[in-house]
Amino acid sequence: MRLKFTKMHGLGNDFMVIDGVSQDVELTAELIEQWSDRHFGIGFDQLLLVEPPTRPDRDFKYRIFNADGSEVENCGNGARCFARFVVDAKLIKASTIRVETAGGDLELHICDDGQVTVDMGRPRLTPSKVPFNADAKALLYPLQVNEKKLQISAVNMGNPHCVLKVKDVLSAPVETLGPLIESHADFPQRVNAGFMQVVDRGHIKLRVFERGVGETMACGTGACAAVVAGIINDWLDHSVKVTLPGGVLKIEWTGEGNVMMTGPVATVYQGVLS
């Protein structure tokens, strides 16, 4: 079997994208983990699989797999790459694309400047919907991690996020604390751990330790979750510049309704596996 693929990235958060509409695709966790290896494989944070929709009101379905082969519900940077891919591959002509994912429906729009805006849907803040073990909904929750007692926000943006406010993202213990938060028992489906520095009410800096991947150059759903956490805690205004290691995203949320994310994408190369 010869399998065509495209390597893409959104702010350095990189993806292997496979067209499952015009070619047959059979994936296993072992294959995905092998391909994700940056020394012996293609190398990527996540694999995106484009599939035909299961409903008439959607243009496509897409599935998202972490580097360890586990399937997840949503990925903001991946959604932007997905939109650019289906247009460049001539799978669709429209600039607005309706997509179904395991985390819910998305609407993607390719802007005139080439950036992509994604309607990320409504954030879920009820603990059971994150999911997060807590007695009641709150703005901040205590989280005991070894000897540290943290104050965190819990947000679901189609996938679960824990947001921790820090003084300086550069010195934040992402490498050591990130894995402990990711696998914390109070997050029964594991969690993405975001470390957020508030620069001012319109700007944050962010690093994210992603579930099943590790720290990435950028995380779209993590940026949305961090801004939502900042807005509900009255640290931020409704339009926020998010500076990640790989670049900048713009996140907008009124405090109600859907979160909007805008950012760039890039195609790196195309290849064929046999």
pLDDT along the chain (274 residues), means of 10: 93 96 94 96 96 95 94 90 95 93 89 92 96 97 96 96 98 97 97 98 98 93 97 98 97 96 96 92
Q: Are residues 253 and 135 in the same domain?
A: yes
Q: How many CA atoms lie within 13 A of 172 on its CB side?
A: 22
Structural domain total, the chain: 2
Q: Which of 75, 81, 162, 224 is catalytic?
A: 75
* Residue 75: active-site member: yes
Q: Are residues 142 and 44 in the same domain?
A: no
Q: Is the peptide bond before 131 cis (omega within 30 degrees of 0)?
A: yes
Predicted pLDDT of residue 104 = 83
Predicted pLDDT of residue 103 = 82
Determine contact, residues 81/226, Cβ cutoff 8 Å: no
CA 63 to chain centre: 13
Q: Are residues 106 and 178 in the same domain?
A: no
Could you give the C-alpha distances from 50 to 6, 31, 97, 195, 246, in angstroms and in order? 11, 17, 13, 31, 25
Predicted pLDDT of residue 74 = 85
Q: Are residues 23 and 94 in the same domain?
A: yes
Domain that holds residue 243: 127-257
Q: Which of 81, 162, 219, 224 is catalytic?
A: 219
- Which residues on neighbouring strands pair with residue 14, listed in sequence order? 9
SS3 1: coil
Predicted pLDDT of residue 102 = 86
Distance CA 85, CA 101 (A): 16
Query: Quick one: the chain helix, strand, coil %, rounded to 5?
Result: 15, 40, 40
The helix (run of H) or strand (run of E) holding residue 243 is: strand 239-244
Q: Are residues 86 and 159 in the same domain?
A: no
CATH number of residue 112's parent domain: 3.10.310.10
Q: Are residues 92 and 151 in the same domain?
A: no
Longest dimension (CA), the chain: 54
Q: Are residues 149 and 252 in the same domain?
A: yes
* Residue 219: active-site member: yes
